[in-house]
């Protein structure tokens, strides 16, 4: 068995390890011993993932003397709310959760974000272990310390910065994913290449179908680990998004607005980010400094990523209105991540309303021609 790739991520109060490999769940008890987990382990997951992996994890934790408590939440972005967080906290307290305990999130981005938020506020903070089971949560939600829940006004408007004590990424959990979920995760890896490492971007495009099909373990492990390492470089410099970390929002301003207006469940997060990156790239070429050659290359790559979303349902007016509720609005101006060139993002504010609407029209036309 090949040893997992290990990344050490430092933050203001310490550091933690990210492990990427195979057969990691079978060693979960020993990994928790390394981080000195002693109290009850509150496993936050959903029914689908619990049936696949919950039993194995509970057995291994119990084999090293750790008590477990399992809290199941409904599947879907609609349940990532303050009300759900309160219900989870109440259930954990009722089951004897202690300050010495550990929250273990087992699932995709919803579970990871919600469970991380619960860990950050329960008893003013308990140990936190993430076991992401989707490609998107591996390269996005599980690394960086952002937690959050949605509000009726927008996505992730309520949350905290709270770093995990350990992240385990077992690629065996990805075997049950649908292609759309792999595309969603690919989008976040692609984003990291666009803003930080064009050689990695070329690697991703060279292995596009392999990564979406999940047909080569080493390529998948390499891609995940590199994406996490690139994100860690940014987070270590700017843990709480005061400056540099804002570049990680490339594609997300329009992406979140598209998610909100179409409705959670209609479009995957990563699919929306792909469309958002196209819109941000188009804006970069129109009102920024992105050269036409770079824009043509970026647009061509984005259009190669297979999407199965209702492009014709995008409403430019509704999307523009939604961007004004984005958490990146400051001093009544929307801060947008654009590109100077591939691999070099920049923040720009004061984007004209008309241009945001035109960006939506541009991406609708692009995918209309590609279909």
pLDDT at 264 over 90: no
CA distances from 170 to 132, 217, 245, 292 (A): 8, 11, 26, 40
- The pLDDT tens digits for 231-263 are 999 988 877 776 788 999 999 999 999 998 998
Distance CA 2, CA 323 (A): 45
pLDDT at 243: 79
Q: What is the mean pLDDT of residues 96-110?
A: 95
| Residue 75 banded pLDDT, cuts 50, 70, 90 | confident
- The pLDDT tens digits for 184-206 are 999 999 999 999 999 999 999 99
| Residue 371 banded pLDDT, cuts 50, 70, 90 | low
**Ranges of CATH 1.20.1090.10 domains, the chain:** 179-370
Whether pTM > 0.75 for this model: the answer is: yes
| Residue 21 banded pLDDT, cuts 50, 70, 90 | very high
| Residue 165 banded pLDDT, cuts 50, 70, 90 | very high
Comparing 148-157, 209-218, 300-309, the range with the smallest average pLDDT is 148-157
Percent of the chain with pLDDT over 70: 96
Comparing 77-81, 126-130, 305-309, the range with the smallest average pLDDT is 77-81
Q: What is the mean pLDDT of residues 56-84?
A: 93
Distance CA 106, CA 132 (A): 6
**Ranges of CATH 3.40.50.1970 domains, the chain:** 5-174
Contacts of 265 (CB under 8 A, 6+ apart): 76, 77, 78
CATH architecture entry for 5-174: 3-Layer(aba) Sandwich (3.40)
Question: CA angle, corner 227, sides to 224 and 233, nearest 5?
Answer: 140
Q: What is the mean pLDDT of the chain?
A: 92
Rg (CA), the chain: 20
Rounded to 5 degrees, φ, ψ at 328 are -90, 5
- The pLDDT tens digits for 277-291 are 999 999 999 999 999
- The pLDDT tens digits for 23-50 are 999 999 999 999 999 999 999 999 999 9
pLDDT at 331 over 60: no
pLDDT at 349: 86
Contacts of 331 (CB under 8 A, 6+ apart): none
Contact 339, 240 (CB under 8 A): no
pLDDT at 1 over 80: no
Question: CA angle, corner 179, sides to 110 and 248, nearest 5?
Answer: 50
Distance CA 368, CA 371 (A): 6
CATH topology assigned to domain 179-370: Dehydroquinate synthase-like, alpha domain (1.20.1090)
Distance CA 144, CA 151 (A): 21
pLDDT at 3: 87
């Amino acid at each position: 068995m090949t040893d997992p790739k290990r990344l050490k991520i430092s933050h203001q109060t310490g550091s933690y390890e990210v492990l990427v490999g195979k057969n990691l769940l079978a060693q979960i008890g020993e990994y928790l011993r390394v981080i000195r987990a002693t109290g009850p382990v509150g496993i936050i997951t959903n029914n689908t993932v619990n049936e696949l992996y919950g039993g194995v994890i509970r057995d291994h934790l119990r084999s090293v003397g750790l008590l477990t408590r399992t809290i199941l939440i409904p599947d879907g972005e609609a349940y990532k709310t303050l009300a759900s967080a309160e219900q989870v906290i109440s259930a954990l307290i009722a089951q004897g959760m202690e300050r010495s305990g550990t929250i273990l999130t087992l699932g995709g981005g919803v579970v990871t974000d919600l469970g991380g938020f619960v860990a950050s506020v329960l008893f003013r903070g308990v140990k936190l272990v993430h076991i992401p089971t989707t490609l998107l949560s591996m390269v996005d939600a599980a690394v960086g310390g952002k937690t959050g829940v949605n509000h009726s006004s927008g996505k992730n408007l309520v949350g905290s910065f709270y770093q995990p004590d350990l992240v385990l990424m077992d690629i065996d959990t990805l075997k049950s994913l649908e292609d759309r979920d792999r595309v969603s995760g690919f989008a976040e890896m692609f984003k990291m290449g666009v803003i930080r490492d064009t050689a990695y971007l070329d690697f991703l495009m060279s292995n596009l179908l392999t990564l979406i099909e999940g047909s080569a373990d080493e390529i998948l492990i390499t891609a995940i680990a590199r994406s996490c390492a690139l994100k860690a470089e940014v987070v270590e410099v700017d843990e709480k998004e005061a400056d540099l970390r804002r570049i990680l929002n490339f594609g997300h301003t329009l992406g979140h607005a598209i998610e909100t207006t179409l409705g959670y469940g209609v479009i995957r997060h990563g699919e929306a980010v792909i469309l958002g990156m196209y819109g941000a790239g188009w804006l970069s070429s129109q009102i920024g400094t992105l050269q036409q050659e770079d824009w043509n290359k970026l647009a061509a790559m984005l259009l190669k990523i297979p999407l199965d979303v209702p492009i014709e349902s995008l409403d430019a007016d509704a999307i523009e209105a939604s961007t004004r509720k984005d958490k990146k609005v400051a001093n009544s101006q929307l801060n947008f991540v654009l590109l100077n060139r591939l691999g070099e993002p920049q923040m720009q504010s004061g984007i004209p309303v008309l241009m945001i609407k035109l960006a939506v029209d541009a991406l609708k036309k692009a995918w209309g021609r590609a279909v």
